[in-house]
Amino acid sequence: MQTYILHLFRILPIISLSLLLHLDKVKMSNTTQIMSYEKDKNALIEERLDSLLALMTLEEKIGQLVQYSGFDELTGPGAKTGNALEKYNRIKAGKVGSLLNVLSVESVRKMQELAVNNSRLGIPLLFGYDVIHGYKTMFPIPLGESASWDLEAIRMSAAVAAKEAASSGLNWTFAPMIDIGRDPRWGRVMEGGGEDTYLGAQIGVARVKGFQSDDLKNPLSIAACAKHFAAYGFAEGGRDYNTVDVSDYTLHNVILPPFKACADAGVATFMNSFNEIGGIPSTGNVYLQREMLKKNWNYQGFVVSDWASIYEMEEHGHAADLKDAALKAITAGSDMDMESYAYENHLETLVKEGKIDEKIIEDAARRILRVKYQIGIMDNPYLYCDEKREKKNILTKENLGISRDIARKSIVLLKNQNNLLPLSKDLKSIAIIGPLAADKDTPLGNWRGQAINNSAVSLLEGVKNMAGKKTEVTYAEGCKLSIGERSFTAELTINQNDRSQIPAAVALAKQSEIVILAIGEDSQQSGEGRSQTDITLSGVQQELLEAVYAANKNLVVVLMNGRPLVIPWMAENAPAIVEAWHLGSEAGNAIADVLFGAYNPSGKLPMSFPRHVGQIPVYYNHKNTGRPVSKDNNVFWSHYTDMPNSPLYPFGFGLSYTTFEYSPIRLSKNTFKNGEQITASITLKNTGKYEGSEIVQLYLRDLVGSLTRPVKELKGFQKVTLAPNESKEVSFTITAKDLEYYTARKQWEAEPGDFHLFIGTNSQEVQKTTFKLE
C-alpha cells in the first residue's frame, strides 16, 4: 500500500508537470508569456499541495514543522541507542521536515533515503546550513563585502557559495542576515550590511539572487533565508540576544525595508529573531509574522525559528512552559521549529484540546512543502546528491579567483598621507610585523562554513608573492593577539601581558625601508555571542603600534577586523591605513594587490567608525534634534563637551590612489509632482594619475514631515571607473517613490514640501541643492 500511494502521488502529478515544464525549452518572446508561465507553474504547485495535504495525517503535517540538527551517528553504530534512535525513527515515520548541519552528499543521501524510502508518503527533507560568506571557498565577511558597494560582486559571491554548498548536498542556507546594525559593540555586525537601510536592502536582494539564481530548481542554487525578523541588530548596549525596544517609526522606516525588499525579490524563507520587541519575543510576535509578513506583504514562503528560540520564550517570561511556547509560536506564524522540540511534543495535543485550529498547522505545512516543490526535491529527492558535482565544484581555482577579486573590491583605504601607497616593487626591504601578519586562519572570518582551518593566504604570503625579486621581505610577530583555545563556541582569551616580542619587532622596523603592520581582531572576536564593551585594539597591540611607529614613520597599518574599531591614535599618527576586514581565502593576495597598486582601492565604509565607544550608536542618518548647533556660543546644544559629534570615519568614506573632482549639481527642474520625476546630475572627473573607481552617492533630506526626518538618507549610488583626466556625467532619477516613508498616518507615502539633495564621495563630504515636491 505504501508503495502504491508513493507511486500514485509522485508519478501522476509529474505527468501533468512534465506537460507544463516542456515550456522551459520554448523561447518566450515577451514578459506577458513569462508571467503566464510562472503563474501556471505556481498554480500547478498549489494543486499538488492540495492533493498531498489531503493525504496527510495531523502527525505528518506537524512532522513537516520539525527541524533537527544533524547527528552523524544516525547512520552509524549510535543509531540504535538513546535519543538518536528516537530521531531516527521519527525521520523514517515522516515526522521530520528538515535537518541542518548534515554535510556531504553521502550523508545527505543517507538521511534522505531514511525519509523517502520508509515514510508513508515519502516526503523528502530540506537540508539547511549557515552558508554565510562561503562554503569552503571563503569570501569577505558580509560587512567587509558590503564595503565594495558592488552588487554584482556580492551576487556572484553568494552564487559561488551556493554552488559549493549545493554540490555538497545542501539546498537551504540561513542567509542573508539583513539586520541593520548601528552598534559596533554587537559582534554580529560582521554578518550584515552595515548601518544603512537602503544599502542593506540592495545588498540583501543581491545575496538572495546569488543564492537562489533565476531558478530555485537549479541544482547549483539553494533556498535563501532573510534573517533575523526583526530588529535583532538593535539589542540594547550592543549585547547579543538582549532586549530591543524601538519605536514604530524606527521599525517601519529603518528595520523592516530590507526584509520587504527580500520578500519582494522572492526569498524562499524567513528566520525570526531571538530578541523581544516591546515586550513580545519575535518568535511569538503575531503582528510581525502573521499580520505584517504573511498578510500585508502576502509572503508565501515559510518562517523558521532561530535555534531554540521557541523554547527561549520561557526564559523571556512570555510562555509558562514549552507547551505554551508552542501555542504562541505557531499562532504567531513561526512555521518551523528549529531545535526546541516544542512542536513535535505539543502541537497535536493543542489541536485535540481545541486551542489550535488544524488549519494553522496545515498552513505552516503547506508553506514548507511549497518550498520543497519550488526547489525540485518533491520530483527528485536526490537532486542535490551528485558526487561528481561535489568533487568538481568545491574550492576550485575559478572560485578562488572570484574570491580574490571580491576581496580587493572590499578593501577601504582610510588614510594615505603623502601618497605612501601604492608601494614600489623596487623597495629594498619591507618588514611585515604584527600578530595577524602571518595568520592563515583569522582572514577566514567567523561563520566560516566548511573552510579548512589555516587555509587562507596570509598577508606575509601575499606580500612575498607580489614584491619585487630584489625586495627583502622580513617578518616579526611583534606580539600574540590571543592565547589558548580558539573555537566557534569558546570565549577567546586575549594576550594582555606578553610584550616580549615587541623589541625584536622594533629592531626589524628600524632596519627596513617600509613597515606593514597587521593588527586588529581575531576572527573569533566578532560574530554571534561576541559582543564587546571595548572595541579599541585588543591586548598589547596599541603598544606595538606606537613602538613600531616610533622606530619607522614609513608605516602602513593593515587592519583586519569584523567590526568598526575605535582607533583615534592610529588615525592621527599612522601615515597609511588600509581597512582589510576578514577577507576570506585569498585575503593576503588581495591585500597585496592593493598595497602594490595592482588594484586601486574603491571600497567605501558601510558603517561609521566611532571616535570613542561613548558615542555609540553613531550613524550618519540621525535626526537633527531641536538644538543641532550652538546659537549663542554657549553649551546648551546637542553635543559632547570632550569631542566632536561626528564619527572618526563616516559612512560611505573611502579613499583612492587617484583623486576625483565633482562639478556642481544640475537639476532638470526644481519642482515636480507625484507621477513626475527629476534628474540630478554631476560631472565626475579623474584628476589624478591612476585609473580609479569612485562610488558616487546620492542622499536626500525631507525638511518637514508629519514625523521628524533624518538629516540625510542614502537613496542611490553608482560606481564609476575613469582613466586619468577622463570625465563622465553621472545622473540620478528621483521620483515621489524615493521620497516615501512610513508617516504619522501609518502608511508609506511621499509628503509634499521642500527637500535637500546631496551628491558626494561620502555621507559628510557632499554638495547640496534643493527641490520641491508639490
Catalytic residue numbers read 306
Q: What are phi and psi of 759, to 5 degrees?
A: -135, 135
Q: Can you tell me the distance from the alpha carbon of 456 to that of 581, in angstroms, rounded to the nearest whole number?
A: 13
DSSP 3-state of 717: strand
Q: Can you tell me the distance from the alpha carbon of 531 to that of 237, in angstroms, rounded to the nearest whole number?
A: 9
Q: Can you tell me the distance from the alpha carbon of 768 to that of 703, in angstroms, rounded to the nearest whole number?
A: 13
Q: Whose grid coordinates read 510562472?
A: 38
Strands 280-281 and 276-277: antiparallel
Annotate 244-283 with DSSP letters as a single string.
B---HHHIIIIISHHHHHHHHTT-SEEEE-SSEETTEEGG
- Please enumerate in sequence order all residues whose Cβ is within 8 A of that of 83, keeping only pairs 6 or more positions apart, or say none: none
| Cβ contacts of 359-365, under 8 Å, gap ≥ 24 | 360/330, 360/331, 361/58, 361/61, 361/62, 361/65, 361/330, 362/53, 362/61, 364/61, 364/64, 364/65, 364/302, 364/330, 364/335, 364/336, 365/53, 365/56, 365/61, 365/62, 365/64, 365/65, 365/97
Q: Can you tell me the distance from the alpha carbon of 338 to that of 17, in angstroms, rounded to the nearest whole number?
A: 32
Q: Can you tell me the distance from the alpha carbon of 529 to that of 319, in angstroms, rounded to the nearest whole number?
A: 24
Q: How far is CA 637 from CA 615, 625, 629, 642, 703, in A?
A: 16, 9, 6, 14, 20
Q: Can you tell me the distance from the alpha carbon of 655 to that of 535, in angstroms, rounded to the nearest whole number?
A: 23
**687 burial via Cβ count (<10 Å: 0-12, 13-18, 19+):** middle
Q: What are phi and psi of 635, to 5 degrees?
A: -90, 0
All three cell numbers of 192 = 550584515
DSSP 3-state of 610: coil
Closest by alpha carbon to 461, among 555, 590, 600? 590
- Its sign, for the CA torsion 377, 119, 65, 134, is negative
Within 420-472, residue ranges assigned H as helices are 459-466
- Its sign, for the CA torsion 205, 208, 213, 214, is negative
- DSSP secondary-structure letter at 536? S
DSSP 3-state of 741: strand
Asked if 770 and 757 count as a contact pair (C-beta separation under 8 A), the reply is yes
Q: Can you tell me the distance from the alpha carbon of 335 to that of 358, in angstroms, rounded to the nearest whole number?
A: 13
Q: Can you tell me the distance from the alpha carbon of 107 to that of 118, in angstroms, rounded to the nearest whole number?
A: 17
Q: What are phi and psi of 575, to 5 degrees?
A: -70, -30
Closest by alpha carbon to 599, among 405, 461, 430? 405
- DSSP secondary-structure letter at 649? B
